[in-house]
């Protein structure tokens, strides 16, 4: 079980650092205690180890296929694991009790889902997507829609999907072409094709609830003309029972580098393969208002993106733990101090400085990523439950500006952690007989879905930094500065780390001002990705200083490890931002000036 | 064909930069002309496109299996491609004419093999390994051994392998345990198991020539007691015909993340599965002297490692070209200048600054890597053919110090190029229906085999930098300084780039002195990998300044592209070395101080 995630680290982050117990006294979490939350986390850890981890490699090696009857075939362990998970009710961990949820803090839920992601992201995705779809309906749907669709999802009877992308519209949702034609009875018929739909077709539950973006005829061009629909795979009878097949068809399966346990599909809507009521067209039900679909979707985007960051961090974490174990068990080579004496026994490779470097780097990436994402989850809780409006607003601002970093940073650096885990294993790391190469392949998706790295960069520098007159950036600045001040009061090494972070923060703020001095996106944004990466390292350095402070005065291996990982990050990683911020400050136009014909 | 490598770039590097034509007048290449070399390169490009590239994905999707008869099964296209290649005689491109080779410059050979690597590294590996084994025998074997084993290898009848690693001895060859027992008749019987043997068993030719490291009973401990043996899969009759099966058995196949077209095996020697002469034990023939096997092997190490660097660069190159094509063809999104007007048509993604950044980064990595490796190949030619001894010595020194960089830098950064190629493709890049995810998986091996990244770092900082009183480092310093001087004479932008490179070079030299000031490996080496990476970026910046100078005064898209890629590297990449060298200068002990129990 220790190879999945560290229960000890989660305890440290949730209790010793984030003080999740503070939430117990609030109305929203009335009747809950920190002990309840720990019990739920223990349960998640147990299920992850017993039901999810054991078939992770098997699901990768036996990816979904389409049988002769046109049905999607998964290995049986997927359904068995999900059944056990569904019985716990944990899918609804953070949802309101009034819709059938457990009403737990999102911080705790993030811990739960991290265990599942780390154990088996391919199987966990079926429930993550269902939870995401349910949350969107809870947020945007009518009471009747919630009752009809969400309740069976939370009971594990229905599964969910998000149908956004189309072949010609990936990152640019404004260009989707799927049509939704009103039928006069309040329902719509949908016609179009959706690409990259995870869990788009399978036999796991009684039904699949597709949430589909489409355009109603005559709607405004672009993203202002997008509406959101519920399109079930199977229609419901008047009494809510499973009825006839809707006109949603499986056009094909995509074959991926990793994340293979999750079936990824091309879906056809309204192709006439099934003809509900004798007519072609997939019957759909509008969620919210016409043309407001994208706004509704964006409402849930922060949590979805934090979910990706959590997943990326979790995959990095499990591979790190496996690399540590391998490095302890694998004898190879001898210490430098022994010189050329090859008659001595080989030592475990964890004794070599370069292996320690690779493990420390992984530790600093994966624990830093988990810390940031749990902090962001805590902001979701603050936004929903803080007693003072000012606190709720501040949490909201921080969440806005941190989300692109919480999504992108783990996707980049916990992938690098996976690569280092392979490297620690040497040739074995490249072999499919070991786990780490799969983690690397699985994790590579996270910089692509839910908005690519480049899209996150535009979101951060183009929207979040400038929003509300810079209020979100200001909230971030103040948060980091407050930590620096606490470090200064602590004195000693903490103060020294704080001074380094303060310089990086000041430079980030200065460069942000330089980039937007002319208020011209063409000047500010060409190197947005470099900005995203520099800001990400500053934020993770902050997360490490916070952990360093939370460990202050504590003794023992665990705390020594936290301190050393913080030192590593400040010495080896934070300095990377220097040249990045210098480049940005120069308003470098190398990429803009490059011409197509020169490649 | 343009998606494999750029013939135009190769022409620029070989002729306009490296002036390969200078070799035509030398004794070693008597009777050859630059036109001959271009013709051979054209031929290699044609075979790569017609025979190697078409089955690259198929070989990945249908990896080698073991049939019921115990034979390794490959897809038929592998043998067909190799047959065509063998007919050209190009496997012996750079070998001496007296052993059946073509005697071409190694620079040209490197170009040939780059085409094959880029088109299909899995199939090309069978010939690369054979060429490597043949070269080792040519260098270390007796005339009789060369006649017996090398000639059929160059005719494409026999294939070769290198059997170094064992399960308990990967990076630490000193610890191999395979035994070679003298039989009194000049032959030996080998007993042991070898791990990670590429092309260790297959039916491609008439025989497989294993070159095996083993220890003779009573040999000195460690690497001083290692001998090298020829161990054929099938023994030869007295008249040289194929005889009985030797006692070499296939113990298993390793299943890899990538590089799947090349069968990777565990081989058993002397397990009694076959009993030549009625007895267990694999019959082997000593190459060179007893206990000198590792020295002999290291003699060929530079070329083998440059070969890995070439392969890594070639895989990066082909994915880059595919990413450029995709970016030109794929419409998505709109220019920043158009603001939020979504009624305009989408533009090809190559028009977005961030996509140009990703393509420029790839271009700077893959063309930089190819340049460095071709330069190193040129050093091999200089070492073998320069008229003056001083020139040959200087080439040898440069080759020693550049080899770990030429091997590691492309393995790291052309893998990053592959990752960026995936990113340019978005979701499609993660799908196996496109090529780039395979290139990424294939390339991940290159930082592991032929000495891991960490081993290269120890080689560079621990051996090469200090060898012969720092003479190799001095030769590198002078080479870079001479380029800086030429850039200064050219003036303008070249001079400006030269000044930046000069500062980085001076800092590298200074830091090298600091690291070794106490002559204590325990102080100098813990962050050797950081040194390798910083030195690598300085060297590649030099390769870009050289290309910038070679393009001086030339007009047209091709040269504009070279200039812009050079600018990109100096602005976005070279500055990374600043914090790395600062860290090294501080003699940072973070990794050394880390303790096992703290992880």
What pLDDT digit, counting tens, does each position of A311-357 carry?
Answer: 999 999 999 999 999 999 999 999 887 766 888 899 999 999 999 99
Question: Which DSSP letter does residue B409 get?
Answer: H
A196, A560, A578 member nearest B598 (Cβ): A560
Gap between the Cα atoms of A383 and A402, Å rounded? 14
pLDDT band at residue B451 under the 50/70/90 scheme: very high
Substitution target in B591, B593, B597 with the highest count of A β-carbons within 10 Å is B591
**What confidence score (pLDDT) does residue A297 get?**
85
Longest dimension (CA), chain B: 86
> What average pLDDT does the segment B321-336 reach?
95
The contacts of residue A275 (CB under 8 Å, 6+ apart) are A247
Catalytic residues of A: 450
Average pLDDT score over chain A: 96
* Amino acid A341: pLDDT: 80
Tally A–B CB contacts below 8 A: 261
* B385 CB neighbour count, 10 Å cutoff: 18
Show the DSSP H helices in A330-388 as ranges.
353-385
Position A298 scores a pLDDT of 82
CA distance A468 to A132: 28
Whether B337 has a pLDDT exceeding 80, the answer reads no
Q: What pLDDT digit, counting tens, does each position of A62-95 carry? A: 999 999 999 999 999 999 999 999 999 999 998 9
A contacts of B448 (beta carbons < 8 Å): 422-423, 426-427, 429-430
Per the CB < 8 A criterion, the answer to whether B284 and B189 are in contact is yes
CA distance A279 to A244: 12
**Does the distance separating the beta carbons of B354 and A529 come in below 8 Å?**
yes
CB contact under 8 A, A172 and B333: yes
CA distance B134 to chain A (A): 25
State the burial class of residue A301 (Cβ atoms within 10 Å of its Cβ: 0-12, 13-18, 19+): middle
Q: Calculate the CA B592 to chain-centre distance.
A: 31
Of A206-220, B289-303, B425-439, the range with the lowest mean pLDDT is B289-303
What's the pLDDT at B339?
Answer: 66
Mean pLDDT of A115-128: 97
Please answer whether residues B37 and B45 qualify as being in contact, where contact means their C-beta atoms are separated by less than 8 angstroms: no
> Which residues, 6+ apart, have CB-to-CB distance to B352 below 8 Å?
A454, B333, B335
Instruction: Say yes or no to pLDDT of B5 above 90.
Output: yes
CB of B134 closer than 8 Å to CB of B123? no
CA distance A578 to A581: 5
Q: Compute CA A32 distance to the chain's CA centroid, rounded to the nearest angstrom.
A: 26
Task: Provide the b/e sequence for A99-109 (b: ≥16 CB within 10 Å).
Answer: bbbbbbbbbbb
Q: Is A590 on the interface with B (CB under 8 A)?
A: yes
| Chain B residues lying within 8 Å of A575, measured CB to CB | 578-579, 582-583
Q: How far apart are CA B53 and CA B115, in angstroms?
A: 10
Residue to substitute from B215, B353, B425, B576, interface A, most A β-carbons within 10 A: B353
Cα distance between the two ends of chain A: 49
Minimal C-alpha gap between B518 and chain A (Å): 14
* B454: its two tokens: 């960490």
Angle (CA) B145 B149 B153, round 5°: 145
Tell me whether A80 touches chain B (CB under 8 Å): no
B431 interfacial to chain A (CB closer than 8 Å): yes
Cβ contact, residue pair B257, A221, below 8 Å? no
Angle at A68 between CA A66 and CA A74, to 5 degrees: 35
Residue A1, pLDDT above cutoff 50 = no
- Kindly state the tokens that stand for A106: 């999102």
What residue in A sits closest to B348 (Cα-Cα)? A596
Report which of B209, B231, B206, B81 is spatially closest to residue B134, judged by C-alpha positions. B209
- The kind and range of the H/E element at A285 are strand A282-287
Q: Give the model confidence (pLDDT) of B232-275 as tens digits.
A: 999 999 888 999 999 999 999 999 999 999 999 999 999 999 99
Residue with tokens 């008869």: B69
| Kind plus residue range of the DSSP H or E element containing B175 | none
Beta strands in B79-218 (DSSP E): 158-163, 179-182, 187-198, 207-214
- Considering only CB atoms, A582 lies closest to which of B353, B575, B590, namely B575
Percent of chain B past pLDDT 70, that is, above it, reads 99
> Which whole number is the average pLDDT over A293-315?
91
Q: What is the mean pLDDT of residues A420-442?
A: 97
What percent of chain A is modeled with pLDDT above 90? 93
Average pLDDT over residues B44-66: 97
B11 touches chain A (CB under 8 A): no
B481-503 pLDDT, tens per residue?
A: 999 999 999 999 999 999 999 99
Query: What backbone phi and psi angles, to 5 degrees, belong to B68?
Result: -65, -25
- Tell me which of A111-125, A165-179, B228-242, B257-271 is least confident: A165-179
Q: B8, B352, B354: which to substitute to probe chain A, counting the most A Cβ within 10 Å?
A: B354
**Residue A273 backbone dihedrals phi, psi, to 5 degrees:** -70, -40
B556 at A interface, C-beta within 8 A: no
For chain A, percent of residues with pLDDT exceeding 70: 99
**Confidence band (pLDDT; 50, 70, 90) for B303?**
confident
Contact flag A571-B557 (C-beta cutoff 8 Å): no
CB nearest to A431's CB, from B255, B343, B457: B255
| Burial of B243 per CB tally in 10 Å (0-12, 13-18, 19+) | middle
Nearest to A422 by CA among A358, A352, A375: A358
User: Residue B222: which of A331, A343, A449 has the nearest Cβ?
Assistant: A343
Q: What is the mean pLDDT of residues B560-582?
A: 98
Q: Which of B157, B146, B145 is nearest to B96 (CA)?
A: B146
Top residue of B351, B594, B595, B597 to mutate, by most chain A CBs within 10 Å, is B594
User: Measured between CB atoms, does A344 come within 8 Å of chain B?
Assistant: no
Chain B residues with CB-CB distance to A358 below 8 A = 454
**Spatial separation of the C-alpha atoms in residues A400 and A524, rounded to whole Å:** 19
Chain B residues in contact with A578 (beta carbon < 8 A): 575, 578-579
If you search the block for the tokens 């996106």, which residue do you land on?
A521
Contact B592 A431 (CB under 8 A): no
Out of A51-65, A131-145, A247-261, A297-311, least confident range:
A297-311
Q: How far is B590 from chain A (nearest CA, A)?
A: 6
Residues of A in contact with B353 (CB under 8 A): 525-527, 591-592
Q: Active site residue: B450, B533, B546, B573, which one?
A: B450
Place of tokens 């460690």: B222
Phi first, then psi, for residue B194 (nearest 5°) are -120, 140
Instruction: Inform me whether the C-beta atom of residue B62 falls under 8 Å from chain A C-beta atoms.
Output: no
Q: Does A167 touch chain B (CB under 8 A)?
A: no
**Average pLDDT, integer, range B134-152:** 96
What was the pLDDT predicted at A443? 98
CB spacing of B426 vs A340 below 8 angstroms: no
Contact between chains at B579 and A583 (C-beta distance less than 8 A): no
Concatenated DSSP letters of A110-142: HHHHHHHHHHHHHHHHHHHHHHHHHHHHHHHS-
Angstrom distance (rounded) from CA A211 to CA A293: 10
pLDDT bracket for residue B38 (50, 70, 90): very high
Say whether residue A196 is in contact with chain B using an 8 A CB cutoff: yes
Condensed to tens digits (0 to 9), the pLDDT of residues B469-478 reads 999 999 999 9
pLDDT at B1: 46
B570 DSSP 8-state letter: I
CB atoms under 10 Å from CB of A589, counted, come to 14
What residues of B are in contact with residue A360 (Cβ under 8 Å)?
A: 590-591, 594
Q: Do A449 and B427 touch (CB under 8 A)?
A: yes
What does the pLDDT read at residue A2?
65
pLDDT of res. B298? 83
- Chain-wide mean pLDDT for chain B? 96
Report CB contact under 8 Å: A444, B529. no
Could A525 and B454 be called an inter-chain contact, meaning their C-beta atoms sit closer than 8 Å?
no
Give pLDDT, residue A339.
66
pLDDT at B583: 98
Predicted ipTM beyond 0.95: yes
Per-residue pLDDT band at B297 (split at 50, 70, 90): confident
How many angstroms separate the Cα of B376 from the Cα of each of A575, B33, B373, B406? 32, 21, 5, 8
CB–CB of A427 and B195 under 8 A? yes
> What would the mean pLDDT of A227-231 be, rounded to a whole number?
98
Residues A522-570 pLDDT 10s: 999 999 999 999 999 999 999 999 999 999 999 999 999 999 999 999 9
pLDDT at A296: 84
Chain A positions touching B253 (Cβ under 8 A) are none
Instruction: Give me A306's structure tokens.
Output: 């934090």
Tell me the C-alpha distance between A81 and A109, whole Å: 18
* CB contact residues (below 8 A), chain A span 293-332, against chain B: 324, 328, 331-332
- Whether residue A203 contacts residue A190, with contact meaning beta carbons closer than 8 Å, is answered with no
**pLDDT number for residue A533:** 98
Query: How many helices and strands in chain A, by DSSP H and E?
Result: 20, 12
Which one of A8, A176, A353 would you mutate to disrupt binding with B, by most B Cβ within 10 Å of its Cβ?
A353
Q: How would you classify residue B71: left for phi > 0, otherwise alpha for psi between -120 and 50, otherwise beta?
A: beta
What are A161's strand-pairing partners?
A: A210
- List A residues 439-468 in contact with B (Cβ-Cβ < 8 A): 440-441, 444-445, 447-449, 452-454, 457-458
Q: Do B196 and A356 touch (CB under 8 A)?
A: no
Q: Which residues of A touch B440 (CB under 8 A)?
A: 257, 444
Distance CA B544, CA B365 (A): 10
Give the pLDDT of residue B340: 67
Tell whether A260 lies on the interface with B, counting CB pairs under 8 A. Answer: no
Residues 239-258, chain A, touching B (beta carbon < 8 A): 254-258
Question: Cβ of A256 and B430 within 8 Å?
Answer: yes
| Cβ separation A522–B342 shorter than 8 A | no
In the 8-state DSSP scheme, what is residue B547? Answer: H
């Amino acid at each position: 079980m220790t190879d999945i995630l560290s229960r000890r680290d989660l305890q440290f982050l949730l209790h010793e650092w984030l003080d999740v117990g503070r939430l117990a006294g609030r109305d929203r979490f009335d009747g809950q205690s920190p002990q309840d939350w720990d019990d739920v986390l223990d349960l998640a850890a147990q299920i992850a180890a017993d039901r999810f981890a054991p078939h992770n490699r098997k699901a990768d090696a036996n990816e979904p296929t389409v049988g002769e009857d046109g049905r999607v075939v998964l290995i049986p362990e997927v359904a068995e694991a999900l059944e056990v998970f569904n019985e716990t009710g944990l899918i609804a961990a953070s949802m309101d009790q009034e819709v059938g949820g457990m009403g737990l803090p999102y911080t705790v839920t993030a811990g739960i889902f991290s265990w599942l992601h780390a154990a088996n992201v391919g199987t966990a995705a079926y429930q993550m997507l269902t939870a995401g779809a349910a949350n969107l309906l809870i947020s945007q749907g009518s009471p009747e829609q919630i009752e009809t669709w969400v309740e069976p999802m939370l009971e594990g009877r229905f599964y969910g999907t998000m149908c956004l992308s189309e072949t010609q519209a990936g990152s640019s949702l404004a260009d989707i072409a799927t049509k939704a034609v009103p039928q006069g009875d309040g329902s719509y018929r949908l016609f179009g094709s959706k690409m990259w739909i995870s869990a788009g077709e399978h036999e796991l539950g009684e039904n699949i609830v597709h949430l589909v973006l489409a355009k109603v005829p005559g709607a405004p061009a672009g993203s202002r003309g997008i509406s959101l629909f519920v399109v079930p795979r199977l229609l419901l009878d008047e009494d809510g029972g499973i009825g006839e097949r809707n006109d949603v068809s499986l056009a094909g399966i995509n074959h991926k580098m990793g994340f293979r346990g999750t079936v990824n599909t091309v879906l056809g809507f309204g192709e006439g393969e099934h003809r509900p009521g004798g007519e072609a067209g997939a019957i759909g039900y509008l969620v919210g208002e016409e043309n407001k679909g994208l706004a509704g979707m964006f409402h849930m985007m922060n949590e979805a993106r934090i979910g990706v960051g959590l997943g990326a961090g979790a995959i990095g974490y499990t591979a790190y733990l496996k690399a540590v174990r391998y490095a302890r068990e694998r004898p190879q080579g001898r210490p430098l101090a022994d010189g050329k004496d090859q008659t001595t026994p080989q030592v475990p490779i964890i004794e070599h400085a370069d292996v320690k470097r690779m493990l420390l780097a992984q530790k600093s990436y994966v624990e830093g990523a988990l810390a940031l994402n749990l902090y962001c989850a805590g902001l979701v809780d603050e936004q929903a439950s803080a007693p003072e409006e000012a606190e709720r607003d501040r949490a909201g601002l921080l969440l806005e500006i941190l989300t692109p970093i919480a999504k992108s940073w783990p996707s980049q650096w916990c992938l690098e952690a996976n690569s280092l885990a392979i490297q620690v294993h040497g040739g074995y790391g490249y072999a499919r007989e070991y786990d780490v190469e799969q983690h690397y392949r699985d994790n590579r998706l996270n910089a692509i879905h839910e908005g690519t790295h480049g899209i996150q960069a535009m979101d951060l520098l183009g929207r979040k930094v400038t929003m509300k007159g810079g209020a979100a950036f200001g909230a971030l600045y103040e948060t980091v500065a407050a930590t620096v001040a606490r470090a200064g009061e602590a004195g000693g090494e903490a103060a020294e780390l704080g001074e380094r972070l303060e310089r990086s923060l000041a430079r980030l703020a200065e460069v942000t001002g330089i980039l937007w001095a002319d208020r011209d996106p063409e000047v500010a944004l060409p190197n947005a990705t470099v900005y995203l990466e520099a800001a990400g390292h500053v934020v993770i350095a902050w997360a490490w200083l916070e952990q360093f402070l939370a460990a202050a005065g504590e003794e023992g291996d665990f705390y020594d490890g936290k301190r050393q990982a913080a030192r590593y990050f400040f010495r080896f990683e934070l300095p990377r931002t220097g040249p990045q911020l210098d480049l940005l400050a120069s308003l470098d136009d190398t990429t803009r000036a490059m011409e197509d014909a020169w490649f």
